[in-house]
Structure 1
């Protein structure tokens, strides 16, 4: 039961922790724990940062996809 919940959230996540872990060459679990612990300490500021990163990464992915279409013609 718990494993199915974890896999659901990992599939539905936005990829911010994965992106940061790849760029910083760290483990994904350490990045996730940092967001969780800092959310308790900073009263939600990391959640705002996370949502802004979601928007930036989504726009970046969209622009990259459009750019590839232009050069494919």
Structure 2
């Protein structure tokens, strides 16, 4: 059973971060964003999941481009 739990824990740890960042940006709870992605996926037969993957990719690219510097000496 450990084989099944490792991927689930990995996706829960890294996958929900997309919903959390979107929720922080919009000023709403992450639970609302997660349930809306689930409903969108069921209603549109997978479009919500494709949108979720696109947003995850976009956030990752944005993090690579815009690195947060804490001081002037980090340049």
Q: Same fold (TM over 0.5)?
A: yes
How large is the Cα RMSD of the aligned pairs?
2.1
The TM-score with structure 2 as length reference comes to 0.71
How many pairs were matched up?
A: 65
* Highest RCO, 1 vs 2 (Cα 8 Å, sep ≥ 6): 1
Please show how residues 1-73 of structure 1 align to structure 2 within 5 Å. 8=9, 9-13=11-15, 15-65=17-67, 68=69, 72-73=74-75
Query: Any stretches of 5+ residues in structure 1 without a counterpart?
Result: none
Query: Any stretches of 5+ residues in structure 2 without a counterpart?
Result: none
The TM-score with structure 1 as length reference comes to 0.73
